[in-house]
Amino acid sequence: MSLEKLSRRDFLQKSGALTGGTLPIMLALGMLKSAPALAFDLTGNGNGKSIVILGGGIAGMTAAYELNKLGYTCTILETRERSGGRCWSVRNGSLSTEITNGKQQAKFDNDLYFNAGPSRIPHHHQLTLHYCKELGVPLQIYNNVNENAYYFSEGKGALSNKKIRVREIHNDLRGYTTELLAKAIDQNKLDTGFTKEDSEKVISWLMAEGGLDPDKLYKASARRGYIEQPGPKNRSGKISDPYTLSEILGSGLMEPDFYNVAEYTYELQMTMFQAVGGMDQIAKALEKKVAANLKLNAKVDSITNLDQGVKVTYTEKGVSKSITADLCICTIPLPVLSNINHNFSGDVSRSIDFASYIQTSKMGLQFKRRFWEEDEAIYGGITHTNNELTQIFYPSNDYQGKKGILLGYYNFNDKAKAVGDLSYQDRLTLALSKGSLIHPQYANEFENAFSVSWHKVPENLGGWAVYTSETRKTQYQALLKPDKQTYFAGEHLTYLNAWMAGAFESARSVVADVHARLSEQRIAYPTTESKG
């Protein structure tokens, strides 16, 4: 296909999907705002007034941690046998039971793990970074972008059913895009309003950006890699040839399945971080601070707003119990809360009952050796596919170690539903079968696996909240306000859905509201701007 015959609008829209210009997943998931680091110097004292907190995840424990500092008496009720909620690193012995599958137990080597929930911290999620620093959780770089990982498209095109390095597609599309624009500007085919001097500056930039030759043509350079690496003496290296535009278009690599590569998305731009030793180290550090407040294996049965205070009934180790408090902070995921008895108002009840959460699944695969590093020089990053796997994540820790766990799939929506409906064994069969198309080493190197379909986990029933512009105006707004003595908190009550930053921000916001109410102060959140 020639550049002249391709609609500029169509080409730019499609190529933008792979080079950072189109961000539908960002919009769909509400990833539009960052969490600023804020001073949180509230004055006054809780004087022992009681708060019952439902859910021992990041939001619930953060709320208790901050309220404890102010002198409140907190009790956290957590239905699981562990704290952390979705902030969970699966290790040897980890247990999970899903609503359509029985119990499974991880059998990884003792020094290995994978993050079943959050795995990345953006550099601009300053509040998350603040808590890691305050709680003494060491961080390391998370390699989210790796041009040496792959695209893999199942289909019938010339480039289908073969793994292609990310850098090859990125640079070819960048080259063809800049060639198209440079030619159009040079031939006055775009109504830019540029002066001749401005046009020359833009064309010069386009030629440098796309690696164009003096004739404004895109030809392969070392940017897209070598088929023979440079070396000693006369070994100059051999550059790989570019794919034609028609080959790229015919192989599905510009279709919606690949639109979420998103390394240029604001939320996923480097630098990113992860907790050393697993993201659960953040939850464990919080748990140490609130251990005296935390009741595990305490399943909430009902929430009742009283004329004064609130009453919560729960089952702890098979025994029915109740607790009354001045106020309640509920961080229970909305699909779970929908099945708990309560006497909330009609607007709040409807918002809870009709909340939408994403379906999403992950699987950790342990291998005898780190073949992705040893054989293919892939250190961290993501391989993107259009099949059920969607994404394969390579670990950003323990480089050049003996063994490792990679994410065999990380998928969403219909693909996550289809995979989640499978048995644990059938999920593994699928992951190994599809993954072997990219990494044939799977067959000889695989050892153990563990899968989590969050929409099948009874304590969650979904990955994270998803809103439309309309539900932001209705359901979302109803839950931002307290229902009498019950406040709601969690990532689902922020514009930071799917991120720990949402849980931290929401917890702080609700703590400010609760303290304002009980101490009879006028407090607006955020309290003061960060100094940096």
Q: Alpha-carbon distance 77 to 312, whole Å?
A: 10
Instruction: Name the packing angle between helices 166-186 and 196-210 (round to 10°).
Output: 160
Give the pLDDT confidence score for residue 35 in this predicted structure.
41
pLDDT confidence of residue 157: 87
Taking the C-alpha atoms of residue 393 and residue 105, their distance in angstroms, rounded to an integer, is 22
Per-residue pLDDT at 258:
72
Global pTM?
Answer: 0.90
Q: Coil, strand, or helix at residue 325?
A: strand
pLDDT of residue 249: 87
Question: What local confidence, expressed as pLDDT, does residue 263 receive?
Answer: 67
| In contact, 435 and 365? CB cutoff 8 Å | yes
* pLDDT at 190 (0 to 100): 82
Query: What type of residue is 415?
Result: K
Indicate the burial class of 238 (C-beta count within 10 angstroms; 0-12, 13-18, 19 or more): exposed
List residues bridging with 357 in a β-sheet: 465
Integer angstrom CA distances of residue 7 from 1, 30, 216, 231, 251: 11, 31, 19, 42, 18
Using 70 as the pLDDT threshold, list the residues of the chain that sit under it: 1-39, 259-263, 527-532
138 Cβ contact list (under 8 Å, min separation 6): 132, 275, 276
Q: How many helices (H) and strands (E) does the chain have?
A: 17, 25
**CA 200, CA 204: separation in Å to the nearest integer?**
6
Tens digit of each residue's pLDDT (9 = 90 or more) over 39-90: 578 888 998 899 999 999 999 999 999 999 999 999 999 999 999 999 999 9
The pair of structure tokens assigned to 264 is 């240029």
Contacts of residue 520, defined as CB under 8 A and 6 or more positions apart, other chains included, come to none
- CA-based torsion, 122, 128, 133, 137: positive or negative: negative
pLDDT at residue 12, as a whole number = 44
